[in-house]
């Protein structure tokens, strides 16, 4: 077999494998607090009897969303998703098995898989979504508050006829008395 024939064979085989894989793989990026649509298109011409959305990195047997026999089951749902996941179309018309994940948080980041079961066949992986949640960085700038204390009034200087020591005010004397009183109280206990 020539090199060119081998290349053509590998190319055709790769194309065949790609066309056989019907799983929808996408990546979505959202911010915390937003809602996100996790898309899953089941069979348009058949009734969906079972739907499960899983998140493999949960390391739990519980699901993101579980639907069977025309109703969702919260008891099979991981607690972190309670009240935050709903079908986009509750009737799943035309095979729409997409769900809306509400109020996304940083812990929701990861891979999500949608499995759809139709009459007479086992559940099939339909959608594989990687959800990225942007981290919110808040910058806090602290500006130190500097207190300036003016030590005196011009009327208190001896040079100007005042009776106080240069720069000392009544406020300084009161502060010094309070400090001395506190020291005496601390020493006596």
Number of domains making up the chain: 2
Give the Cα separation of 54 and 172 in Å (integer): 71
Domain assignment of residue 104, yes or no: yes
Please, which pLDDT band fits residue 177 given cuts at 50, 70 and 90? low
Q: Decide if 16 is inside a domain.
A: no
pLDDT mean over 60-75: 95
For the chain, state the CA radius of gyration. 36
**How confident is the prediction for the chain on average, in pLDDT?**
77
User: pLDDT: is 174 or 79 the higher one?
Assistant: 79
Q: State whether 89 and 170 are in the same domain.
A: no
Range 113-124 average pLDDT: 94
CB under 8 Å to 32, separation ≥6 — which residues?
Answer: 104, 105, 106, 133, 134, 135, 136
pLDDT attached to residue 171: 52
**Together in a domain, 118 and 149:** no
Question: In this structure, are 48 and 127 located in the same domain?
Answer: yes
Pair 69, 95 in one domain: yes
pLDDT recorded at residue 117: 96
Cα dihedral: 74, 75, 79, 80 (round 10): -40
Residue 158 belongs to domain spanning: 139-178
- Lowest average pLDDT, out of 59-63, 91-95, 153-157, goes to 153-157
Is the confidence at residue 22, as pLDDT, over 80? no
Structure-block tokens of residue 154: 């011009």
Q: Is the pLDDT of residue 159 over 70?
A: no
How many Å apart are CA 176 and CA 44, to the nearest integer? 87
* Predicted confidence band of residue 78 (pLDDT cuts 50, 70, 90): very high
34 and 89 part of one domain: yes
Mean pLDDT of 21-43: 89
């Amino acid at each position: 077999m020539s090199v060119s024939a081998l290349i053509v064979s590998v190319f055709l085989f790769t194309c065949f494998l790609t066309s056989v894989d019907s799983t929808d793989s996408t990546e979505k990026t959202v911010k915390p607090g937003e809602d996100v649509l996790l898309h899953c298109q089941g069979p348009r011409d058949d009734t969906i009897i079972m739907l499960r959305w899983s998140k493999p990195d949960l390391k739990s047997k519980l699901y993101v969303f579980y639907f069977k026999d025309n109703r969702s089951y919260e008891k099979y749902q991981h607690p972190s998703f309670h009240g935050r996941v709903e079908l986009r179309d509750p009737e799943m018309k035309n095979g729409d098995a997409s769900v809306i994940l509400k109020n996304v948080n940083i812990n929701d980041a990861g891979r999500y898989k949608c499995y759809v079961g139709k009459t007479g066949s086992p559940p099939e992986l339909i959608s594989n979504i990687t959800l990225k949640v942007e981290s919110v960085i808040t910058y806090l700038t602290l500006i130190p508050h500097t207190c300036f204390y003016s030590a005196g009034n011009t009327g208190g200087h001896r040079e100007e006829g005042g009776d106080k020591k240069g720069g000392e005010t009544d406020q300084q004397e009161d502060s010094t008395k309070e400090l001395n009183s506190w020291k005496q109280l601390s020493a006596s206990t």
